[in-house]
A and B are shown apart, each in its own frame.
Chain A
Amino acid sequence: MKTRTESHVDAADVAVPGPLAVTDPSGASAGLPRLRVTKAYKMYVGGAFVRSESGRYFRVASEEAQGDADPAGVNIPRGSRKDVRDAVVVAKAAYEKWEARTPFNRGQILYRLAEVVESRAKELEHSLVRAGQSRAEAAREVAATVDRAVFYAGFADKVSALVASHNPVSGPHFGFSVPEAMGIVAVIAPESPSLLGLASVVLPPITGGNSVIVVASEADPRTAIVFSECLATSDLPGGVINVLTGYGSEMGPIFAKHREISAIDAWTADEALRATLEREAASSVKRVKTHPSPNAEMWFDRRRGQGLGFIERHLETKSIWHPVGV
């Protein structure tokens, strides 16, 4: 898999489009070349595709496929502190409405997402191939991603039945423990697999009613952006999943210090970053879970790469006492 070429580059260094003209395969332009139409890759925040407010980009190299308009290297927005700030505002507003929906409705929307990913499978596979995978690997990863969305779609209205309890208490009371969403969950997605890893870490928190701000894989953020186009065309309300691109080491500490964010779920091999997140999150008493990056194969494993535990990690338990016989 290709990785980013430099760790810190300015927009001025990056804009390297390919040739302006491409040949017209349809022949409709009577032998004249077509103007090359390349795509501006943008982050997905609040249901809209946005550039970084900082105006910065980083370059991601990729295989240039036959007949593809994009050049070998593409410019990806490099998210900043203020992009995090703006994402929190929309994620907070979205959370309040998302959490108020019925779990059944959340499940319907997740299933719709699976449908949309399925219908855009070719585009996602293409993006993965450009990031260096073989066609077979890419097809396997997209299929697994669809299955993951279906898995959490089915789980949405069963979480409460599995996690809640009616507790025995010593007195004339009922004691209930009921799961509730936490709020905004900030996620640093695994580097690899860039698509399945992303879906596997953002879908469980929203299944439970949270909203998510995620930093996509640094090595292949382009596929995360194509996935965001699936999010935008499913019925998922804007702001429930916000996809930032850039460096986890830059945005992670901002997540940790931001008091409006309730939890952090970081999948990163960067040990210093994991330590920073845990330390900086202490003053706002966030729930922080950091994971050294697992073997990419784990995400394909239906026992280890998905499950109730992924949902439960971002739920709070509310206890209710109610008198018996009233």
Chain B
Amino acid sequence: MYLRRVKSNGHDSLARANGDSVSRAYTPLFAPPPVDQVAVEERVASLAKRSLKKGAKVAGLKLSIRMMDLTTLEGKDTPGKVRALCNKAMHPLDSDPSLGPCAAICVYPNMVKVAKEALRGSGVFVASVATAFPSGLSPIEIKLDDVRRAVDFGADEIDMVIDRGAMLMGDYAKVFDEIARTKDACGKAHLKVILETGELGSYDMVRKASEIGIAAGGDFIKTSTGKVQPAATLGVTLVMLETIRDHYYATGRKIGMKPAGGVRTAKQALQYLVVVKETLGDAWLDPDLFRFGASALLNDVLMQLEKERTGNYQAAEDFSKD
């Protein structure tokens, strides 16, 4: 059922390995079960209604902070802003040192060195987007070079984008090969594969892209760049988590999941945790296997935690932006 990962070297493609043309080689290999859209949305809607109160809520919110990839991916990013964000990741709330730290900082390659320096000794990882983020529409050599440089700068994790155009055209071999070659270029760095589900059009395509991302060597699959709407939704997250679950049953290998973009409120974060728990179990309630890609989420979580601690609703102005 699963495509075995083929060690890729140079331009060697899976199609060539199978001695077949691209389209005919891939269609039968990537024949995931069709996704029932109505059932997926019903399922997440029912899970999202589950109410977490008091102790469970606080524990969930604290866990979500440790799962956060605090992100800044803007053209106007500066070293100063990245340092401030690093500080926020290490000490999310000055008045409560027990909170955090966040799992990682997610930045553009040019900011990796700054972040690495600022986070030294903290245990917070540096993730860098690469492969001509966010479109991915550059020659593969440039994308691989982008990855190698980000790793050289010190990135612990690479967030790559797949070629959505190739995906939609049915050129799955190209998508697969690019992921596999990016994985090789990562060396020791972890690879997160961004599917950009908002551009894929259907849950079936999300399922297919998830399988390709996993089979080609991704350590994590990630919903979105945050530059396209819709970004992460509970529905696509469930489809991706089910792909991870099926892969785990088939191979025993645990793949991580990262919804990114659109997760802005503490309430949403808890809903995601419920979906993870119900789909994959406690093992995935861990920053090594589940992350939130977010920038606005952290402050909302902090506001809710302070509300639980003091009993009073908080004001946004009382929390630092970065």
Contact = CB atoms under 8 A, between A and B. Distances in A.
Interface residues of B, number: 7
B311 A257 contact: yes
Contact residues of A: prevailing secondary structure: helix
Interface string A251-286: 000100111100000000000000000000001100
B311 to A, nearest CB: 7
Contact of B315 (A85, A254, A260): A260
A284 B312 CA distance: 10
Contacts of B312: 257-259, 283-284
A259 B318 contact: yes
B248 interface: no
Contacts of A254: 313
Contact residues of B: prevailing secondary structure: loop
Contacts of A85: 313
A88 interface: yes
A260 B306 CA distance: 13
Contacts of A259: 312-315, 318
Interface residues of A, number: 10
A269 to B, nearest CB: 26
Nearest to A84: B313
A314 to B, nearest CB: 17
A284 B315 CA distance: 9
B111 to A, nearest CB: 30
B316 interface: yes
Contacts of A283: 312
A260 B311 contact: no
Contacts of A260: 313-316
Contacts of B316: 92, 260
A5 to B, nearest CB: 32
Interface in B254-313: 311-313
B259 to A, nearest CB: 23
B183 to A, nearest CB: 43
Of residues B313, B314, B318, which shows the largest number of chain A Cβ atoms within 10 Å of its Cβ? Answer: B313
Contacts of A92: 316
Nearest to A255: B313
A249 B167 CA distance: 60
A5 B313 CA distance: 32
Nearest to A81: B313
Interface string A230-258: 00000000000000000000000010011
A286 to B, nearest CB: 11
Contacts of B318: 259
Interface string A154-191: 00000000000000000000000000000000000000
Nearest to A260: B315
B320 to A, nearest CB: 15
Contacts of B313: 85, 88, 254, 257-260
A198 B49 CA distance: 37
B299 to A, nearest CB: 13
A254 B313 CA distance: 8
Nearest to B306: A259
A283 B316 CA distance: 16
A92 B316 CA distance: 10
A235 B311 CA distance: 37
Contacts of A88: 313
Interface string A76-90: 000000000100100
21 contacts: A85-B313, A88-B313, A92-B316, A254-B313, A257-B311, A257-B312, A257-B313, A258-B312, A258-B313, A259-B312, A259-B313, A259-B314, A259-B315, A259-B318, A260-B313, A260-B314, A260-B315, A260-B316, A283-B312, A284-B312, A284-B315
Interface of B: 311-316, 318
Given A254-B313, A258-B312, A259-B314, 7 more contacts: A85-B313, A88-B313, A257-B311, A257-B312, A257-B313, A259-B318, A260-B315
7 A-B pairs closest in CB distance? A259-B315, A257-B312, A260-B315, A258-B313, A259-B314, A85-B313, A259-B312
